[in-house]
Structure 1
Amino acid sequence: MFLRPAARRLRADHPLALELAVLVLALAGAHLWRRGATALLPILSRAVRVDGLVTRGLLAGALLLAGLVLYVGVYALLRDIDVGLSVPSGRDRRSLGLALAVPPLLVGLTKLVGDLTGVPYNGLTMSAYGVGTPVPAVLASLVPGLLVGACSLTVVCQVLVQGTFARVVDGRRAAFLTTVLTAVVLSRSTGGLSAFPARGKLALAAAFVLSLGLALYAVEAVERDGVRYLAYLPVTAVLGLVVVSLIAATESVAELLFGATHVAVLGLAATSYERTHSLLVPAVAYLSLLLAEETVVLLFEAGMRSW
């Protein structure tokens, strides 16, 4: 009985809070799809008789991306989200150039700081390559996976998250909120970005949404000022937990720069999408980041494993 009037009041007076709750549920769906795709892969591999590690990886990536695109596409259709499928125009060259150039520069800076402070870059990316591995052969097998990663991030960050926020706020605010939410839910201090949030991050986001909804309802339903102030304690506690967990997970300057690079690229992708209304630009930003990270590990840290 309590939840119904609370939901109605949130919908009427706080549409952003309601959209945030919907987003957490939608991101949980993406998490569940990854687990479902992992379970389906052995069955599909036997059905199409796939052999070889590379071929199996291609099949896994195709299955994961196809299901994600279908899921987000249905979500966008049901919620009337405008998806930017246009090709960047001549005026968008600057945004496209930044999407190409900024991520490698940030990766290079992080690598330099890591070398100066004794933190190998592959310890942050959680990837490694053997000595003498042919670069063209590695890139040929690596690029399809990076394309899947970049496309997955674009679909989740720009269509699912940014498209949802754009329903209730203007473009710049939607880009800012997208950067904040994805930085918390989709990034890690080691291992990089993932379009499929971990259970712990989802639980933290759900706790924040629940505490925020209860606080907003209590503030408007209760007349005593003391109780109103107390209503915000759970929200403050969750935000404090986020900050403490981020600080605890960062053990070096290189890790701090590694995380800051991901936040910067998420922000670059969101603002570029807001300006150009083209999914190609953020996809280029994500692909440039992922490719730069793996190239640094392959060229400068082959034979090293630091985790």
Structure 2
Amino acid sequence: MRQRPWPYPSDLSDARWELLEPILSAWRAERRGKGLDIGRPPERDLRRIMDAALYVDRTGIPWRYLPHDFAPWETVYGYFAAWQKDGVFEQLNGLLRRLVREAEGRDAEPTACVLDAQSVKTSANVPAPGQGIDAGKKIAGRKRHIGVDTLGLLLAVLVTAASVSDNVGGIHLLSNIAAAHPRITKACADTGYRNKAIDHGARLGIGVEVLHRDPTRKGFKVIPRRWVVERTFGWLMHHRRLARDYEAHPHRSEAMIHLAMIDLMSRRLTRESTPNRRDS
């Protein structure tokens, strides 16, 4: 592979790579033990593969348009798909979230979360059966259901057709959050989450509080605690691959969201700036 004369802004610094390397190296060692290493021959540099995946996530280009100084796009996508299937992105997200929380003086595991959903348009390559229409927002495409901690860090994500209600998505999120984060006992959500989600949360030991806007206030008004998850959606929008949904499969969309949060949290831990479209 030809060495680049200068790094791309999305590339991992040495400090950021040190955070990710143990999990990626452990993944490779496990696959070698099973005779499944997709990097032979030749063996690929995992750091450069991650750089390429971050480049796609940040710039929004199609996989086939990867610059030639990266590995062939088929190889990079093969690693991306394998990491998604093997839960590597979720492992990295969990590790970095715990490190960020500890750096902020919080317990590693949260006790409260915030739920919300975002409908986005899809590209032409997304199969029609995987899409739907969000009647409330008049958007045809997919919906991203996310749960975050009180710092806005991702706990769970579910990508569905836009026609799936917040309530249904919330039920799935609450189940996933309860299984992975047993210390969580409270969740905040907007009025899209109704009795079924509230009752489901109660069965899981999570009290779901629905936050209402003040009907007497006109114009935009920040709702306490709700702004946390709305800010997270704003962070995700700095990654052009997430400006709309380009992935043929919903689980690949979830992986792109995890990758964006890995990018954000690793920069936060190493105190590196995050270049975005407003900087150009």
TM over 0.5: no
Which structure has more RCO (C-alpha within 8 Å, separation ≥ 6)? Answer: 1
* The structure with more helix, counted as a fraction of residues: 1
Q: TM-score range by the shorter chain?
A: under 0.3
What TM-score do you get using the length of structure 2 for normalisation?
0.28
Give 1 or 2 for the bigger CA radius of gyration: 1
What TM-score do you get using the length of structure 1 for normalisation?
0.26
* The structure with more strand, counted as a fraction of residues: 2
